[in-house]
Amino acid sequence: MPSATGFRQTMKGLAAAAGAIFGSAKPPDASTKKEVRIGIALGGGFARGAAHIGVLRVLERNKIPIHCIAGVSAGAIVASAYASGSTLDETERLARAMRFKDVAGWSINILGLANSDRMDKFLDRALRVHRFEEMPIRLAIVASDLGNGRPIIFRDTGDVKNPIRASCSYPGLFQPVRLNGRLLVDGAITMDLPAEPLHSMGATHVIAVSLPTPLEVTDPGNLLGVVNRCFQILQRRTEEEWRKYSTLVLEPDVARVSWDGFEQASEMIAAGEAAAEAALPVIKGWMKSGHV
C-alpha cells in the first residue's frame, strides 16, 4: 500500500497532466474585452445636411465620446468641420447663412453645370485644420471614382478640402473633381452612408445618420429635381448594404425639406436633435457597459 506522501505526489502528477490536456479553467480576462468606441457616419442630402449638426450637439451635450467620424456629400462637410475642432455653434452659424452660391458657381461645361471652386473659401471658414493627420478626431471622406465605379476613401494623411469637394460633386450639377489622376464625383453614388470604413478605423459601434427623402414626389419641378429624384430612388435600393455595418440608424424628420432648402436650417437642426434624443437610452446603454 503506497504511503500518504506517495499518494499526494501521484495526485499532483495527475492534476498537472489534466491541466496540460484540458487547460486551466480561468475566468475570461477582462483586459481582452474591447472598449466601446463610437463611430459616426453622416449621409448626404444637400441642404438637409444641417440635421447632422443637431445629432452631434445632442451627443456632445450628453458627453458621448466620438472615436471617429465619416461623411459623404453634405455629411462630409459637417464631419470634417467637427473633426477639425470647429464648435457646433460655429458650424450652425455657417449653415444658417449658407446659400448655394457660397459653394458653387455656374460654369456650364460638358461635364456639369457648375464648378465647386467657391467651396474652397467656404471650407477655409468651416474647418480649423485642413489635413487629415491634424484632425483631433479621426476622419474619413468618401468620393466615387467615375472611372471604375468604386468608392475612394480618404483618411489618415493629406489635404481634406479637395476630397470634400469631390464628395460633394453631385453628377450633372457639379463638374467632377480631378484628383490623383482620377475623376471623382459624389461619394453617395458608391457608398450612400459611410458606415463600413468606421469599423477599420477602430469603431465598435457605428451610428449612421440617414437623411430621409420623400416616399413619393408628384412634380420634381425642374431638370435637377428629376436627376435628384432618380438618385433617391436608386439609393433606396442599396440601403441594405450600409445598414448591415450600422449598429444604430438615426433618421431625422427632414424628408419634406427640398434639396436646396438652406433657409430651413433651424428646422433641420431641431430634427437632428430630436432623432438623437430618442436614441440616447440605447447609446447610453453602450457606454454604461463600457466594453463589448
Residues with a catalytic annotation lie at 73, 186
Amino acid at 94: L
- Cβ atoms 95, 272 nearer than 8 A: no
CA separation for the pair 220, 226 (Å, rounded): 5
Name the nearest CA neighbour of 41 among 257, 237, 188. Answer: 188
Within 10 Å of residue 215's Cβ, how many Cβ atoms?
A: 8
- Cβ atoms 114, 107 nearer than 8 A: yes
- Cβ atoms 242, 198 nearer than 8 A: no
Distances (CA, A) of 12 to 20, 21, 22, 147, 187: 12, 14, 15, 70, 65
Element (H, E) at 212: none
